[in-house]
Structure 1
């Protein structure tokens, strides 16, 4: 099981954080994190439920990570293993993650696929999302996998969709001309674009597009 303790800095004040696998006792806090990250009008039935979380800790507990600060769970990240073929990269989030229930988990898969990452808004200045991502890279190396993979939303795309194609929008983010809240964050975490996916996730801001992005195991 995974456990890492470290200090983060809020201005000049060190704050102790623990990254660990989440457990059944954390479920209420994990669901509350989702409520804070995705407030109404986001449909409440799309937030984590107990069955999904139970599957996470049962089918692939190594891919169920959370961050604890002062006894409070303030962020989480979930993954599953898939057997990814770069020559057949098109898929939807629902297909590959089983809508978050991860019954598609393949224990012999070559790729750690990101299901979700969420951090309470009040704690985002501590770069907890980046810490969770780096912790999942640890899992990739520990399990001798080829990569971490996942689709990123493009929530800024709807503002420029009449002027730019999805690929042009992505190119401008990569060149530094534009910034996107999700794609730019993933780039800062070391993720590299693989391909655009149409109808990846029902998301008005992204016009349903997603960018498949990977982090390759540097030892493979």
Structure 2
């Protein structure tokens, strides 16, 4: 289990407990105002995640207040295109968490708006990476929400948007920090999430424990 102080002991990153779920629900609502209600995690979902995979659930605490949280599960690498609800068992993870899975799948990451820009999300990703390594996993997989894509989706494809991010033509509020944290491109995901700001799309990314690891996928997987 994780329990570490960061930023001159101002913040604490630790594993989430059942006592945190109400505040985690609040963080979720504040972080994803444009996400469809059917895809917002609530206290019951968080409670179930802690029950199923306690070492994979995290919070950031400041003076007793939860200012950020992250939820994960274990899976084998997804070979087919998938959606957020399908991957997460409609947010419950009861049926989709794979106890022997060799990747940590990040289904949620949220930092309260007033605490963004401090590097807390990066610290959470790195903490998850520590746990992935301790568990003997290959690393993390996430579907990065392309929050900036919704503004340009009528003018460019998600592939073009990915390329523009890759060459640093512009930045994305979510994907750019994820890339800086160590995540690498895999492929775009169409109609992954019901969020118009993200253009209903995401980018599948991975962060290997072994920095020399190269993900090899077949052509049919869209790489």
Task: Settle same-fold status: TM greater than 0.5.
Answer: yes
Match of 2:122 among 109, 127, 130: 130
Give CA deviations for 1:112-142 in whole Å, capped at 9, x if unaligned: 0001001111111321111111111111111
| Residues 5-154 of structure 1: pairs in structure 2 closer than 5 A | 5-6=5-6, 8=7, 14-39=8-33, 43-44=36-37, 46-85=39-78, 88-103=79-94, 104-154=96-146
Query: Cα RMSD (Å) of the superposition?
Result: 1.8
Q: Name structure 1 gaps, 5 residues minimum.
A: 9-13
Separation of aligned partners in 1, 2:201 and 2:171: 16
Q: Secondary structure at the match of 1:218?
A: coil
Structure 2 contact 39–91 (Cα < 8 Å) conserved? no
Give CA deviations for 1:9-65 in whole Å, capped at 9, x if unaligned: xxxxx45221111111111211121222234x6555643323211211110001100
1:153 CA displacement? 1.4
Residues 200 and 42 of structure 1: is their aligned pair in 2 closer, same or farther, counting only changes over 3 Å?
Answer: closer
1:11 corresponding residue in structure 2: none
Question: TM-score, normalization: structure 1?
Answer: 0.89
2:195 corresponding residue in structure 1: 203
Residues 171 and 109 of structure 1: is their aligned pair in 2 closer, same or farther, counting only changes over 3 Å?
Answer: same
1:3 corresponding residue in structure 2: 3
2:216 corresponding residue in structure 1: none
1:208 CA displacement? 1.6
2:185 corresponding residue in structure 1: 193
1:158 CA displacement? 2.5
Q: Name structure 2 gaps, 5 residues minimum.
A: 214-223
Give CA deviations for 1:149-189 in whole Å, capped at 9, x if unaligned: 01011121122223322111110101011111111111111
1:172 corresponding residue in structure 2: 164
